[in-house]
Amino acid sequence: MIAKLFRFKGGVKPASHKDESANVPIRVAPLPSKLVIPLRQSARAMARCLVQPGQIVLKGEMIAAAEGPMCTVVHAPTSGTVRSIEPQPVPHPSGLPAPSIVIEPDGEDRWIDRKAFDFRSATSQETRNYLRDCGVVGLGGAGFPSHVKLGPGEKGIETLILNGAECEPWITCDDRLMRERADAILAGASIMRHITGARRVLVGIEDNKPQAIESMRAAVQKLGEPDIDVVAIPTRYPAGGEKQLIRVLTGIEIPYGKLGTHFGVQCFNVGSAAAIHRAIAHGEPLISRVLTLSGNMAHPGNFEVLIGTPVGELLPLAEPRADTNRYLVGGPMMGVVLQSLETPVIKGTNCILAGSPSLFPTPPPEMPCIRCGECAKVCPAELQPFEMYWYSRARIFGKAQEYSLFDCIECGCCSYVCPSRIPLVDYFRFAKGEIWAREKEKAAADLARERYEFRLAREEREKAEKAAKLAAKTAAGREKAAVAIAVAEKPATTPEEDAKKAMIAAALERAKAQKEQAHPENVSDLTPEQQAEIAAIENRRAEIREMAKPHVRQDD
């Protein structure tokens, strides 16, 4: 047993309204006329479609593959024919449609071949990959991929927590699951313990669920594993929040931007544990879940529903009363108004709540904030909602972030106690959505700028490379031309020609020498008049030679 329980700051105690649906066993919803399976089962990732219209699929067949580390596989909830792949309504505050696969059931409910997975002989990574391919996600509402949460983390997992608190009013699907399928939940916990290597397992359940606590403790004794404790915690909303439950059971406070794995602790919904057991022991992917139908209904209860079932086909099972004027997906604190009854059940849908003017009166008009500080007193994240409200409303999103806007878990405690009836959570969701959209635009702009700069750098590089190649080619051409000119100026000769030229040159040299040594005869004893006449003759010869030079070819 744990030594003591801790407390988290803030929180409220709204009327629970659990008994309306918790006293009826889980019933199996009938096969709907069509199934609408969104490719985006959570806000984090969208799966890649693998089927085409007209294709026949079997129950449990993979119809969309995981894209990215935060995505899981999507499967056909029953056998039938793919009728279309088109945008369909999804349970989201925006009311915008999302790409979905529409399947028409054939009524035969034919399964694919299934077999158990031997997780004890497989590595932890292989088991996590198998759970990813089985489409197992958190069933507490957020839909976080279980294979990611089962990762080793930085320090490993010391404590594994099963979240059975189910603190929000009206919702009782986890309560009934713990009462009826406690063995499957603990079998899943054992599998998760084996994957993570956790030393101990804590099961946190609010003390307003005594039968669930009793059932889980009996299952622990039957299982016989050590260091598994079922702990009753005080009933206070939002004790079922992951960080709040970790704080209550271990005293560890998880700051924003950190995960439980940073502190050696990890938290899973009890429904996720049961789904992991079904996937490992029976080879069944996550194609159905237990959800609560409650509120303004004649026969509220919990139903095992196929993923993709339109809400409009579920409502007759609980018989909404005539004065019902709206429906919520989720509970009254964190739920969103359903925009269309064609909206399907997704993996994170834990409750469909019918509202009426008497049960959920129309809220009075919003009044100005009086800065009473009540919202700050009940905030479990210890924030200042009134400051976040002012900046969110004024669209000064930077200042809203300075007040830790993204620490807000959107539990609705601030809106619940606000005397001015300000829908604070709506403002916070709006601000978060705007910030995410701007960051997405900025990321797209940064990517476009980087691509443009990369293109400019590539063009400059290619231009420089082209200039270098041209310069090298020009230099090579000049060198080649210079060699050709040199060869042309000095024509090649054969050895015979060179010997002949040498003989001619030698003969010329001998003739020149003989001429220099020769002296004209009969020139001795000349009178001065004869010598003058000879000199005049030589001068005329020289003049004639000079006059004849322009008319003599150079190569002669």
Among 482, 513, 545, the domain boundary falls at 482
* Same domain flag for 300 and 446: no
Instruction: For residue 33, give both structure tokens.
Output: 């006329």
Among 355, 380, 403, the domain boundary falls at 355
Strand order in the sheet with 265-269: 228-233, 200-206, 159-163, 265-269
Does residue 230 sit within a domain? Answer: yes
Domain extent at residue 323:
19-31+121-355
* Same domain flag for 410 and 304: no
pLDDT, averaged across the chain: 88
* Same domain flag for 176 and 281: yes
Q: What is the CATH number of the domain that holds 166?
A: 3.40.50.11540
pLDDT digits (tens, 9 = 90+) for 293-308: 999 999 999 999 999 9
Q: What is the pLDDT of residue 556?
A: 46
pLDDT digits (tens, 9 = 90+) for 410-441: 899 999 999 999 999 999 999 998 998 898 88
Give the mean pLDDT of 360-384.
91
The three-state secondary structure class of 518 is coil
Lowest mean pLDDT among 184-198, 211-225, 257-271, 538-552: 538-552
Does residue 268 sit within a domain? Answer: yes
Give the mean pLDDT of 40-58.
86
pLDDT digits (tens, 9 = 90+) for 277-290: 999 999 999 999 99
Residues in the chain, overall count: 556
Does residue 77 sit within a domain? Answer: no
Whether residue 160 has pLDDT greater than 50: yes
Does residue 494 sit within a domain? Answer: no
Residue 30: pLDDT band by 50, 70, 90 thresholds? very high
* Same domain flag for 316 and 399: no
Please state the φ and ψ torsions of residue 80, each to the nearest 5 degrees: 165, -160
* Same domain flag for 244 and 331: yes
* Same domain flag for 384 and 251: no
* Same domain flag for 341 and 435: no
* Same domain flag for 187 and 275: yes
Q: How many helices (H) and strands (E) does the chain have?
A: 16, 17
Cα–Cα dist 422/284, whole Å:
45
Does residue 510 sit within a domain? Answer: no
* Same domain flag for 185 and 260: yes
Q: How many domains does the chain contain in total?
A: 2
pTM: 0.78
Among 424, 454, 482, the domain boundary falls at 482
* Same domain flag for 150 and 297: yes
Whether residue 364 has pLDDT greater than 80: yes
The three-state secondary structure class of 196 is helix
Does residue 1 sit within a domain? Answer: no
Cα–Cα dist 507/228, whole Å:
124
Count the neighbouring beta carbons within 10 Å of the beta carbon of residue 521: 6
* Same domain flag for 246 and 386: no
Does residue 232 sit within a domain? Answer: yes
Does residue 145 sit within a domain? Answer: yes
* Same domain flag for 383 and 417: yes
Please state the φ and ψ torsions of residue 111, each to the nearest 5 degrees: -85, 155
